Amino acid sequence: MKKTTTRLADGRELIYFDEADDVVRDAVDERDLPARSGGSELRYDAVMDEWVALASHRQTRTFLPPADQCPLCPSRPGRPSEIPASAYDVAVFENRFPSLSMDAPAVVGPTVDGAELFARRPGIGRCEVVCFTSDHGTSFGSLTPSRVRTVMEAWVDRTLELSDLPGVEQVFCFENRGEEIGVTLHHPHGQIYGYPFVTPRTQRMLASAEAYAGRTSRNLFEDVLAAERTAGVRVVAETEYWTAFVPAAARWPVEVHLYPRRRVPDLPALTDAERDDFGPLYLRLLRACDRYFDGGVALPYISAWHQAPVRVGRDLAALHLEVFSIRRAANKLKYLAGSESAMGVWINDVRPEDVAARLRDLVDAIDVDGAPR
């Protein structure tokens, strides 16, 4: 794989990850772009003990443009895009409308309205877009295993690079797929956030792992994986290095977790063999998800990598991927209503064991190339 770094017209970084070593990336972004936006700030919610990002400039971001105006497609004569090249394998660039930015301006005072309870600080961090392919009309599940391996290398590279940025405490790689999820661009892509704090979800997981270790002297994530593998009923598929299962207390109508058999803190800690083994399993799972509901209804989903923070909890954390969907039936979505949104108490209408059985049958019937077995 060849990595090439360049700059867009407004100074944002663009990185190509090419599968051929002889590719030359000399295309120049000749657009006349406005100054970079990035006026976000962080405000502290003392009641919830959480930081909230305010990024009002994102209201003007591109929203569901037609395919011939997609900013993630390769550039062509008369139609420049965020990718100056005429074709690419995997491309990563700084988001034009970031929720967090290393250039975030200073805030006016350390508090809102002078109240000590309402702390504020600049929205320092990094937000990147990861384009999985130059083909607008495809999806992650339609990629080849070799392309997934390239994406994996991009995730690893960016995790390392963002972890070295001053102030970044956690790196989050994810994909939103489907308008129902809130996607504003149809081109197959994901994102990477470099947060200036450890996220609330990760803090809670690490606290649980620490308490469990104190009671048992064992690792919580290792024991969860071992228990799911022993029970077997919720295991969707296994390979030499990975296990996919529906968690016993799944929150979402369709939810699958993928764990490497060997506990590691983050993506860079995976061996070459573990990285190679991920793609074939993940592709079969995504293709099964798109067959989950009768009638060819594509499954909207969020795919989220849980990694250890940069500086804390690394001995407790366990890398894993969480894939979940808000679709609960072919023509119905799960809305986070009163109990979930107001109280944080989840109610799932679907038994995890039933979801696992359905997905297991579908995965078993699909080859990595998408053909029926």
Q: Comparing C-alpha atoms, which of 91, 318, 50, 295 is closest to residue 188?
A: 91
> What are 202-209's contacts with CB under 8 Å, separation 24+?
202/170, 202/306, 202/309, 202/313, 202/317, 205/306, 205/317, 206/309, 206/312, 206/313, 206/316, 206/317, 209/313, 209/316, 209/317
| Residue 368 clears pLDDT 70, i.e. is over it | no
Do 129 and 53 reside in the same domain of the chain? yes
Do 324 and 263 reside in the same domain of the chain? yes
How many domains, the chain?
2
| Residue 257 clears pLDDT 70, i.e. is over it | yes
pLDDT at 203: 98
Report residue 299 CA to chain centroid gap: 16
Give the pLDDT confidence of 206-255 residue by residue, as tens digits.
999 999 999 999 999 999 999 999 999 999 999 999 999 999 999 999 99
Query: Does any domain span residue 373?
Result: no
- Among residues 172, 197, 222, which one ends one of the domains? 197
Q: Could you tell me the CATH number of the domain that includes residue 12?
A: 3.30.428.10
Q: Say whether 313 sits in a helix, a strand or coil.
A: coil
Do 211 and 162 reside in the same domain of the chain? no
pLDDT band for position 370 (50/70/90)? low
Do 131 and 18 reside in the same domain of the chain? yes
Do 160 and 265 reside in the same domain of the chain? no
Do 292 and 160 reside in the same domain of the chain? no
Averaged pLDDT score across all residues of the chain: 95
Q: Between these two residues, 63 and 125, which has the higher pLDDT value?
A: 125
CA–CA distance from 207 to each of 27, 54, 159, 317, 321 (Å)?
48, 27, 23, 10, 19
| Residue 365 clears pLDDT 80, i.e. is over it | yes
pLDDT band for position 108 (50/70/90)? confident
Starting at the edge strand that comes first in sequence, how are the strands of the sheet with 50-54 ordered? 50-54, 41-45, 120-122
Give the pLDDT confidence of 34-76 residue by residue, as tens digits.
988 767 999 999 999 999 999 988 887 888 899 999 999 999 9
- Among residues 153, 168, 197, which one ends one of the domains? 197
CA–CA distance from 284 to each of 209, 308, 347, 361, 371 (Å)?
30, 26, 28, 11, 10
pLDDT band for position 372 (50/70/90)? low
How many separate helices (H) and strands (E) can be counted in the chain?
5, 16
User: What average pLDDT score do residues 335-350 get?
Assistant: 95
Q: Between these two residues, 368 and 106, which has the higher pLDDT value?
A: 106
Query: Does any domain span residue 371?
Result: no
pLDDT at 60: 78
User: What average pLDDT score do residues 261-287 get?
Assistant: 98
Give the pLDDT confidence of 152-191 residue by residue, as tens digits.
999 999 999 999 999 999 999 999 999 999 999 999 999 9
Domain span at residue 154 reads: 2-197
List residues with catalytic annotation. 189
Do 345 and 301 reside in the same domain of the chain? yes
Q: Comparing C-alpha atoms, which of 150, 143, 22, 16 is closest to residue 86?
A: 16
